[in-house]
Amino acid sequence: MTSRILFMLSSLALMAIIVEGGGGGGDYRKKTPEPSSPPPTSSFPSFSPSKAPKPPKNPKPPSDIVDSLMPGMPSLSPSLSMSPTDLPSSSPTVSTAPTASPSAEPSSSPSETPTSMPSSSPSISSAPSSAPIAYARPDRVDIRYVSWLDLDSETQDIARSLDYDIYTWNNYGNNLIEYYQWTDLTKDQMDAATSLGYDQKSWDCWQNHF
C-alpha cells in the first residue's frame, strides 16, 4: 500500500511540472514557426466565392471573329448607311408570274424614236398574201385531172404533143414540161395547151405549180 501511495504522489508531481511549463522545462506543444518575410502581394484582385462576377447569359462574339469564321455571311446586326450604294447589295430576284398591276405609269411618249426604215428585210412568201393586194385564182383545167384511159383519142393526141403518156399523165410531176412556165413553151406547145383549155394564168397556176 505504501508503494501505491508513492506512485500516486510521483504522478501528481510530474503533472504539476507539465502544467506549469517553467523556463527550464520547455513547452511540449509544437509551435508554428514565424515567417521570415511577409507573403508576396498579387496585382490581380482577389474575389471571394460569393462576390465573384457572373458571366453574361447570352454572350455575343465580336464581329471580327464572326467574319473570320463565316466569310460571306451577313453580320449579326444590319448596318445603317446615310447614303445609298451605287450597286445593289444582292442580285435581284426574277419572278415568272406577272405582277397584278403595272409597276409604274406608262410613259406619255415612246422611249426611243421610231426608225424610218424597217429593222429587217421583209420575208418572201411563195404563197399569195390575202392583203393588201387582192388575189384571184384562175379556174382549174379539169381535163388535166381525168385519168388517161378516160380521155378520148383526140385529147390523148393533144397530150402526146406535150410529151405525155399514160404514166406521166396519171402521175403528176413526171413530165419535164410541167416545170416550164408559159413563156418557156414553144408556139406548138402553147397551141396544144390552149386546146386543152389552158392560158398563161391557168398554166402557171395549175400546171407549173400543182
Is residue 6 pLDDT above 80, yes or no? no
How far is 102 from 152, CA to CA, in rounded Å? 74
Higher pLDDT, 187 or 92: 187
**Most confident region among 89-93, 101-105, 108-112, 166-170 by mean pLDDT:** 166-170
- Quote the pLDDT of residue 16: 73
Q: State the CB neighbour count (10 A cutoff) for residue 107.
A: 7
User: Average of pLDDT values for 107-118?
Assistant: 69
Q: Given phi > 0 = left and psi -120 to 50 = alpha, else beta, which region is 5?
A: alpha
Is residue 25 pLDDT above 50, yes or no? no
Is residue 170 pLDDT above 90, yes or no? yes
Is residue 111 pLDDT above 60, yes or no? yes
Q: What is the value of pTM for the model shown?
A: 0.37
